[in-house]
Amino acid sequence: MSKQVGRFELIRELGRGAQSVVYLARDPQLQRQVAIKTLHFAPSDPQQKQQLLAEARIVSQLRHPSIVPIFEAAEEQGDLYLVFQHVPGRNLAEHLQLSGRLPAEKAIAIMQAILDAVAHAHAAGIIHRDLKPSNILIDDDGVPRVMDFGIASRAEGLASDGAPLSGTPAYMAPEYIAQRTSNERTDVFSAGLVFYELLSGQRAVPGSNIDEVMKRITSTDITLPAELNSALDERLVALLYRALARDPEGRYATAAQMRAALDDYLAPETPVAGVEARQSTIEFLLRRMRHKSDFPALSESVGAINRITSSENQNLAELSNTILKDFSLTNKILRMVNSVHYRQAGGGNISTVSRAIVVLGLDAVRSIAITVMLFEHLQNKDNSNQLKEEFLRAHLAGVLARDIGGKSMARGDIEQAFICSLFHNLGRLLSQYYFPDESAEIRRLAQQKDCSDDLAAQQVLGLSFEDLGVGIAQSWGFPRLIINSMRKLPPGSVRRPANMDDRLRVLAALSNDLCSLVADAGVEQQAKELRRIVARFGEVIDVDEQDLQRTLRKSFEQVSQFAGVLRLNLQQTNFGKQSRAWGGAAGGRALAADLPTQEDGLAGTVLSDVAADGLAGDEAAADGARSTAAAAPLSSEVILMAGIQDVSNALISDFKLNDVLRIILETIYRAKGFKNVILCVRDGRSNAMLGRFGFGPEAPEIAKRFRFSLVFSADIFHAALANGADILISDTRDAKIAPRIPAWFRRAVTAETFVVFPLCVRGNAVAMIYADRQRAGEIVIAKAELSLLRTLRNQAVLAIKQSI
């Protein structure tokens, strides 16, 4: 290595990349230390060098406290070199390696400085093109300093069209990879990736294979890990996801807007003048909605279900666990999947959420769960009549889309069509709940001025129902294709969709147009309006007026079944009256004969509140509890029997072992109101019993802590496994029991009572089921229940034998 570059004396190397090296150097003329970055391109391109020198001269004019200035730019022995101010300290990538993820407040402070620097450069017409942690220095005072503006490093490889890509693949925007578009929004996307790293402590798009990294950026929405997503404020997560929107139009238009949004987050009650008007209004309305205590709960639940179903590793147990946290939701979902529609679709006789997911799929159960949650959220409010009308209208739209699209779509796509159409008018639905006075004014204004609801909403709320719905859907983590379907189609004839995203958008528009026809058109207008819809969508759907009328009548029946599950009397709604005008649902009656009742074991009760039934193995205690058991509902026994039937149905089909075991664990969890139920499996290599999965608020964490050697030790677990004996420990603190509770267990859980069911094959324990409650004495099992629990245990053994 030469000791000198130009007049600068090299001291030592600071770092290097694929085509650049950075040195600490001394300027003998000005007697100061500087940083020199040498750039070597192979093959050499004189035009490229001149372009970079011209960019460097422009960048050297930037003056901002968060920008590392360029002092000089020149050429030495055929290679370019750039002279920067030397900033003592580490770059942000090194800083994050040492510190890990940062607290939200500190991450925001760093991002504010970065965005100020980027916005300053944008104002001068300069796009960074390679914003990443290693190009952000943290000086000795903790101040972020951005470097390398406009000086793009070259990726190792070419794009599909042969044109070179400038920048670092893991920090490129989707439109730049696909179309070479480079503007302020591409820098915003890169800033979002840096913000992701600050909040999570890890790269958003990991990997060393450039093609795979770029494919992920262009084809997959970037989301935080589930545990971090739920830990952060949903407003901050929504802000991050907006910066990372794959569609540039969904992003902040400028770095200044993203900076203003961060300011608004830190001071939520203070309007920020710099925020784009529409976004400012959405955030203002979201703040108003959060003042009602149920909106955050709804947002968290919907967001959690969306994160699970959109995950690359879709997790049956995680979705089941999320739903099982709400007993009311669980029971309504089970009643729904046993209704006529889902029996025809392959369901029926389903008593566990796990089995429902196996039979119907994650998307179908998501559709049901979110629909039920939305209704539960809206009912019994001051303006409940209007809310019910809006909800029934939205639900009909989803059913229509599912029926119309069902002829040509896969099952997962059909459920996407249902959700897209259900939420097409989300803004109007939630406006009616959170802003009833404004919604009444919107209806009055639309009628008075003979204009659309969206135009009236624009005047009253400051934005359209469509924009409000999109903003809320983004905060709930709905995937891009659903959010895209919430956008209205342009007037006139609808063109045939080019891809699935467009098809879902068209289906949502068509089904909601049909709902408007049902809700608003008089008898004398029905035929005319139906012809208009057929003409508008004629190139998209291969149906005539009679086909649509038959579809409407079929959909009315399905909505009627749904209303029956929710105990909603359609005869008292305008929707029911309008459906009768179309010959649907025979007056909107609920098809009660087709719905399971509490006696079927699917309505259930809050099992954790059921009185104790007795104690297995203790005749005196059992006898003393029989009067209580006789007076209490037999919900636990009924649920156990229904679960046994569920497992039997699964065993005679082409089952997956883990699915059957999850159904068994869920049945045990629901029937006896356990806090946690865990499956442990023997690991032959380590000769240890390892926790695998389970149900309960702490189940995932506890499963990880369950690990003990199978070398015999005089404790409760080894006694149960060695003898194949079911053991119930009523109180882990009991003087006779305490010495036999192993230390690893006391470290793993705080439960004071638990039960163990060994799973033995040919006399050897291959697995075990563990279930607990928090307080001593809370687990009591009657003889009939014990027999049913052992039947479930034996079914688990049978499933294991069949899988060996």
Amino acid 443: pLDDT: 85
Task: Confirm whether 612 is domain-assigned.
Answer: no
Give the integer Cα–Cα distance in Å for 136 and 144: 6
Reported as a single tens digit per residue, the pLDDT across 193-206 is 999 999 999 999 98
Looking at 85, 113, 141, the residue that finishes a domain is 85
Q: For the beta carbon of residue 42, count every other beta carbon within 10 angstroms.
A: 7
Query: Does the N-terminal peptide bond of residue 43 adopt cis geometry, omega within 30 degrees of 0?
Result: yes
Specify the CATH number for the domain of residue 76. 3.30.200.20
Give the pLDDT mean for 338-355: 62
Domain co-membership, 131 together with 226? yes
Amino acid 161: pLDDT: 38
Burial 531-549 (b: 16+ CB within 10 A, else e): eebeebbeebbebeeeebb
Amino acid 166: pLDDT: 63
Looking at 85, 118, 149, the residue that finishes a domain is 85
Tokens 């309504």 belong to 332
pLDDT band at 312; cut points 50, 70, 90 = very low
Q: Which two tokens stand for residue 358?
A: 């196996």
The verdict on pTM exceeding 0.75 is no
Q: For the beta carbon of residue 63, count every other beta carbon within 10 angstroms.
A: 9
Q: Which two tokens stand for residue 294?
A: 């149920």
Q: Which two tokens stand for residue 236?
A: 């901050």
Task: Confirm whether 564 is domain-assigned.
Answer: yes
Reported as a single tens digit per residue, the pLDDT across 688-699 is 999 999 988 888
Give the integer Cα–Cα distance in Å for 73 and 416: 55
Task: Specify the range with the lowest mean pLDDT, choosing from 359-373, 700-714, 723-737.
Answer: 359-373
Reported as a single tens digit per residue, the pLDDT across 20-31 is 788 899 998 888
Domain co-membership, 470 together with 585? yes
Give the pLDDT mean for 40-53: 70
Please give the share of the chain, as a percent, with pLDDT higher than 70.
Answer: 75
- pLDDT at residue 634 is higher than 60: no
Amino acid 49: pLDDT: 73
Domain co-membership, 678 together with 588? no
Count up the domains in the chain and report the number. Answer: 4
Domain co-membership, 77 together with 106? no
- pLDDT at residue 594 is higher than 50: no
Task: Confirm whether 258 is domain-assigned.
Answer: yes
Domain co-membership, 197 together with 321? no
Reported as a single tens digit per residue, the pLDDT across 412-456 is 577 778 778 888 888 887 787 778 888 888 888 888 888 888 888
Q: Which two tokens stand for residue 251?
A: 């992003």
Task: Specify the range with the lowest mean pLDDT, choosing from 294-308, 320-334, 494-508, 749-763.
Answer: 294-308
Task: Specify the range with the lowest mean pLDDT, choosing from 154-163, 281-290, 778-787.
Answer: 154-163
Q: Which domain holds residue 221?
A: 89-275
Amino acid 701: pLDDT: 86
793 contacts 769 by C-beta, under 8 angstroms = yes
Give the integer Cα–Cα distance in Å for 91 and 138: 6
Greater pLDDT, 737 or 47 = 737
Task: Confirm whether 282 is domain-assigned.
Answer: no
Q: Which two tokens stand for residue 274?
A: 């710099």
Q: DSSP character for 67?
A: B
Amino acid 770: pLDDT: 96
Reported as a single tens digit per residue, the pLDDT across 735-760 is 999 999 999 999 999 999 999 999 99
pLDDT band at 395; cut points 50, 70, 90 = confident
Domain co-membership, 302 together with 221? no
DSSP output for 412-458: HHHHHHHHHHHTTTHHHHHHHHH-HHHHHHHHHHHHHHT--HHHHHH
Q: How many CA atoms lie within 13 A of 261 on its CB side?
A: 29
Residue 736 amino acid letter: K
Task: Specify the range with the lowest mean pLDDT, choosing from 52-56, 124-128, 248-252, 500-504.
Answer: 52-56
Domain co-membership, 27 together with 145? no
The alpha-helical segments, DSSP class H, found in 632-767 are: 635-651, 657-672, 699-705, 716-723, 743-748
Domain co-membership, 131 together with 56? no
648 contacts 640 by C-beta, under 8 angstroms = no
Specify the CATH number for the domain of residue 784. 3.30.450.40
Give the integer Cα–Cα distance in Å for 534 and 644: 49
Amino acid 593: pLDDT: 29
Report the chain's mean pLDDT, rounded to a whole number: 77
Domain co-membership, 321 together with 268? no
The alpha-helical segments, DSSP class H, found in 22-129 are: 46-59, 92-99, 104-123
Domain co-membership, 239 together with 371? no
- pLDDT at residue 308 is higher than 70: no
- pLDDT at residue 678 is higher than 90: yes
Specify the CATH number for the domain of residue 129. 1.10.510.10
Amino acid 331: pLDDT: 67
Give the pLDDT mean for 780-798: 90
- pLDDT at residue 318 is higher than 50: yes
Task: Confirm whether 613 is domain-assigned.
Answer: no
Reported as a single tens digit per residue, the pLDDT across 136-154 is 998 877 889 998 775 533 3
Specify the CATH number for the domain of residue 472. 1.10.3210.10
Amino acid 276: pLDDT: 54
- pLDDT at residue 329 is higher than 70: no
538 contacts 423 by C-beta, under 8 angstroms = no
- pLDDT at residue 156 is higher than 70: no
Burial environment of residue 489 by CB neighbours within 10 A (0 to 12, 13 to 18, 19 or more): middle
Task: Confirm whether 610 is domain-assigned.
Answer: no
Greater pLDDT, 665 or 633 = 665
Give the pLDDT mean for 76-82: 82
Q: Which two tokens stand for residue 624?
A: 């003393």
Looking at 598, 628, 662, the residue that finishes a domain is 598
Please give the share of the chain, as a percent, with pLDDT higher than 90.
Answer: 22
Amino acid 162: pLDDT: 41
Task: Confirm whether 614 is domain-assigned.
Answer: no
- pLDDT at residue 536 is higher than 70: yes
How many residues would you count in the chain?
A: 804
Amino acid 391: pLDDT: 76
Domain co-membership, 301 together with 190? no
Greater pLDDT, 286 or 614 = 286
136 contacts 146 by C-beta, under 8 angstroms = yes
Task: Specify the range with the lowest mean pLDDT, choosing from 74-88, 313-327, 563-577, 619-633.
Answer: 619-633
Domain co-membership, 510 together with 437? yes
Amino acid 240: pLDDT: 94
Task: Confirm whether 382 is domain-assigned.
Answer: yes
